[in-house]
Every structure is written in C-alpha cells, then in structure tokens.
Amino acid sequence: MLSSLYMAAIGLLMISRLPTPSPKAWRVPRKRAVLVLVGVAVFAGALATKPWTVLVLTDLAYLVVLAWGSWRDRSGAGVKTVT
C-alpha cells in the first residue's frame, strides 16, 4: 500500500509544473572539480553499501530543492527582466 502511494506521488511530480534546476546549466570550476569527483565517488559508495538510506536522503533532498524552486519562482527571485 505504501509503495503504491509513493509511486502515485512520484507520478504526480513527474507531470507537475514545479520548476527544477537543470544540470545542463551547472558549471564546475577547475579548482573544485576534484571535490565534485570525490563527492560523486562517496555518493556511489554509499549507494552501494546503504542503498535505502541513500535513496531516502536523496528523495528528501529532491523535495527540498522542489520546495526551494517553487518558493523562488513565486517570489520572483529567479526572474530576469530584459529592458
């Protein structure tokens, strides 16, 4: 029962109009590239050893990003005007 509710919630999020960040726009400075690679390696290692814990934490982080993006979109902080 819980998994069907979870899948329904994910399905609703997939078709929603909530703003999400696009990884295409992300740029990593050269001096931080090593830190990003280490972070990805730690994430992959944690995912291999404790998959459910990492997946739950990743889902919670994603929900925080959705809430932040929605708040930012409503407040107009992310809107750029051209004059």
Asked if residues 19 and 67 have their Cβ atoms less than 8 Å apart, the reply is no
| Of 79, 78, 73, 77, residue with least CA distance to 18 | 73
Per-residue pLDDT of 50-70, as tens digits, reads: 999 999 899 889 888 888 888
- Using CA atoms, how far apart are residues 11 and 72, in angstroms rounded to an integer? 23
DSSP designation for 22: -
| Res 16: pLDDT | 82
- Using CA atoms, how far apart are residues 1 and 4, in angstroms rounded to an integer? 5
Element (H, E) at 60: helix 51-75
- In the structure encoding, which two tokens stand for residue 40, read together? 């990805």
Per-residue pLDDT of 13-34, as tens digits, reads: 888 888 877 788 889 999 999 9
DSSP designation for 12: H
